[in-house]
Amino acid sequence: MTPNGIAQLVLFSLIILAVTKPLGSYMARVYQGEKTLLSPVLRPIERLFYRLFGVQEDHDMPWTHLPASPC
């Protein structure tokens, strides 16, 4: 393995280690329904998709259930 290849592996490993904690915290907040830094930007887009596809966000929906047709 070349020194360049080793340097790339080390750099990649360091980036993964640096991103793990912040990304894990962000994902935990999203899954728990808490407000995040990106909520003001992404929340309106999420609501638009819910409305387009007929999904009721306050109801649980198993993967076998199809949403009601908006027509």
7-62 tens-digit pLDDT: 999 999 999 999 999 999 999 998 998 999 989 999 999 999 999 988 888 888 77
**Residue 47 placed within a domain:** yes
Q: CB–CB of 39/30 below 8 Å?
A: no
**Residue for token pair 């728990």:** 32
Provide CB contacts within 8 A for 68, sequence distance 6+: 54
Task: Give pTM, 2 decimals.
Answer: 0.62
Specify the number of domains making up the chain: 1
**Residue 11 placed within a domain:** no
**Residue 41 placed within a domain:** yes
Residue 70: pLDDT band by 50, 70, 90 thresholds? Answer: low
30 is in which domain, residue-wise?
25-56
pLDDT at 53: 87
**Residue 71 placed within a domain:** no
**Residue 52 placed within a domain:** yes
**Residue for token pair 């990106």:** 38
**Residue 38 placed within a domain:** yes
pLDDT at 22: 95
**In the numeric block, which tokens belong to residue 68?**
């009601």
**Residue for token pair 């907040």:** 29
**Residue 35 placed within a domain:** yes
